[in-house]
A and B are shown apart, each in its own frame.
Chain A
């Protein structure tokens, strides 16, 4: 029987330690992993807890990330609580198996510590890997700091394993900026954390030999479409369970989570939409601009990326005059994901704000307060003029001549 770990009311943890501690408290049956920067300390921390007697489950070090996710699929189908962590190239190598996991409706939890994709080789944080996983049929949630990484990792198990969901869950945090930055984190006791998640509920476990089942059967045009439609329905409906889980979590912790987070939006005229640690930095910039320059700035962020909370996005941005969508991933020949998806949601509103797109922070390039203020000032001009006076897509924080597209 695993020993309990005595935690302080306030710990100073980085995002990786937050992931590792939440995974320990979840009493996972199987972790199969192949460490990669910057998520290595999540796996390292978990292995250390196991070696020190704080974990009962199995820990399998495999030969690649493809094998790691394959091991997770096998263990989850066998009937256990399963998780792993990865980043960047490792995530890219998992991609094939990610679709298997969601198609087989296996509630695996993946801690994804976001990092750039090569080439050029880069170990630092951007959202290239997160964006690569967008169509894989996973629930995707995003932490903006270490506390949230801990909270959302715990909630990930509860959401994915819910009997009406049974889908894999990806919990994202920013590489280095969150994963390697130590901040104040308030953890639960081991008991409170485990009781919140609850016992794992088996559904069609392969190890139940009295009731043999098949996972990943072949379906051609006769059933594939219906199967995928059911999978989409489950993913769309999971938003209700996610909201319920957020509500239960708030009762326990006092910390509030929403599918779409809004900051200072009550009277905001201009808003930044972002993901990851940039959300918090943008809140700081908005606060300062309100005091220093009287710009009514606000911030909107996707806590839940998949299922896309379209109605909540519409509501959050219904009164603003101009919106900047900030994408931390090279868009590969088009506008950024946030621009496309936020625009699609806002097109349904009667009042449509002026909306533009910024690509920033690739490969860990610092997103400074000054960059963020510049973006707010930019879109204030759009709001004042009532039309797009900035380019549709710009690069923020890029050295050399200004780069923009769709001018």
Chain B
């Protein structure tokens, strides 16, 4: 069982990202769960979304999770949200930031000694898609860090997930995924 927790703001696409990842994973014959904590969420409110991935049907419906990966797609949440909650020794953090890894850890001492990766999904999504929707680039970074799927296979699978969008948006997302895959450190 692989478990992923997303930290996001409502409207940044964490739920869409979690479901998109679910679609790709289900196509490979694996079982997935994608869900979120909503409450009466307003655009901009801090929120969390979750993925579970396994070879067997997933029957555990508890919201509690000890994540293998923590994906932070809003740069400010690393300071305000409890991103290290219920972590384990080898939890990997992929964090959206314009800072270098060293600069970030200096500002957020609780990340010291953890497995931290940084990528600027905000800039990438602004450059490519033209809006601050950092979910698809984060998936590109996750592919690089986790080695879950070959990047070309993943991009192909994402084409199907994004098929309801205009071609321009699809192309921009593909560029964003590739850039994040290459730029994550």
Q: Hey, which bits of chain A sit against chain B, CB under 8 A?
A: 10-12, 123-124, 145, 174, 176-178, 180-184, 277-278, 280-281, 283-284, 366-370
Contacts and interface: CB of A to CB of B under 8 A. Distances in A.
B36 A183 contact: no
B64 A183 contact: no
A10 B38 contact: no
Contacts of A183: 22, 31-34, 58
B64 A366 contact: yes
Interface in B102-138: none
A114 to B, nearest CB: 13
A277 B60 CA distance: 8
A174 B62 CA distance: 13
A225 B44 CA distance: 57
A10 B27 contact: yes
Contacts of A370: 64
A176 B15 CA distance: 13
Contacts of B34: 12, 181-183
Nearest to A177: B61
Contacts of A278: 61
Contacts of B35: 176-177, 180-182
B62 A366 contact: yes
Given A12-B34, A183-B31, A280 B60 contact: yes
B61 A281 contact: yes
A10 B157 CA distance: 14
Contacts of B9: none
Contacts, number: 69
Nearest to A10: B26
Given A12-B19, A12-B22, A182 B61 contact: no
B59 A182 contact: no
A284 B40 CA distance: 30
Interface in B61-75: 61-64
Contacts of A180: 35-36, 38
A119 to B, nearest CB: 15
A177 B62 CA distance: 8
29 contacts: A12-B19, A145-B59, A145-B61, A174-B61, A176-B35, A177-B61, A177-B63, A178-B61, A180-B35, A182-B22, A182-B32, A182-B33, A183-B22, A183-B33, A183-B58, A184-B26, A280-B59, A280-B60, A281-B60, A281-B61, A281-B62, A283-B59, A284-B59, A366-B64, A367-B61, A368-B62, A368-B64, A369-B60, A369-B62
Interface in B8-67: 18-19, 22-23, 26-27, 31-36, 38-40, 57-64
A190 to B, nearest CB: 19
Interface residues of B, number: 23
A367 B60 CA distance: 10
Contacts of B57: 184
Contacts of B39: 123-124
Nearest to A174: B61
Interface string B142-155: 00000000000000
A338 B15 CA distance: 35
A280 B26 contact: no
Nearest to B19: A182
A124 B40 CA distance: 9
Nearest to A147: B57
Contacts of B22: 12, 182-183
Given A12-B22, A123-B40, A184 B60 contact: no
Contacts of A368: 62, 64
Nearest to A178: B61
Contacts of A284: 59-60
B32 A12 contact: yes
A70 B171 CA distance: 48
Contacts of B26: 10-12, 184
Contacts of A174: 61
Most buried by A among B31, B35, B59: B59
A59 B134 CA distance: 37
Contact of B62 (A145, A178, A283, A367): A367
Contact of A12 (B23, B36, B60, B61): B23
Contacts of B19: 12, 182
Contacts of B64: 366, 368-370
Given A10-B27, A12-B26, A368-B64, A281 B32 contact: no
A180 B39 CA distance: 12
B35 to A, nearest CB: 4
A189 to B, nearest CB: 18
Contacts of A184: 26, 31-32, 57
Most buried by B among A10, A145, A181, A367: A181
A180 B35 CA distance: 6
A366 B58 contact: no
Contacts of A281: 59-62
Nearest to A288: B60
Nearest to B35: A181
B23 A280 contact: no
A177 B64 CA distance: 12
A366 B36 contact: no
A181 B32 CA distance: 10
Nearest to B63: A366
A370 B39 CA distance: 23
Closest 5 CB pairs of A and B: A280-B59, A181-B35, A277-B61, A182-B34, A366-B63
